[in-house]
Amino acid sequence: MYVCLCQGVTDGQIREAIYEGCCSYREVRNTLGVATQCGKCACTAKQLVRETLSDLHNAQTAIPQHPGFTHA
């Protein structure tokens, strides 16, 4: 599914960017260029980043010291 039509960024690309090390919406935006034109996708992109980070966090609870995560 395309999240950002202006930049042609899909939800899969956003997830992949996070799996490869992005740990914030800002980093994803800088990496993929998502939400850098009309900005309409920003809400969806932010939500997706948040969801993916929490999925990843849950999946990695066995690894106690991942630098990108804090226990909230």
CA distance 49 to 69: 13
Minimum distance between the CB of residue 53 and ligand FES, rounded to whole angstroms?
20
Select the span of 1-9, 18-26, 54-62, 63-71 touching ligand FES (CB under 6 A): 1-9
Minimum distance between the CB of residue 57 and ligand FES, rounded to whole angstroms?
26
Q: Assign residue 52 a region (left: φ > 0; alpha: ψ between -120 and 50; beta: otherwise).
A: alpha
Amino acid at 61: T
Of the residues 7, 10, 24, 31, which one makes contact with ligand FES according to CB under 6 A: 7
Site for ligand FES in 13-52 (CB under 6 A): 34-41
Amino acid at 37: Q
| Tokens linked to 56 | 């990843």
Residues that bind ligand FES (CB under 6 A): 4-7, 34-41
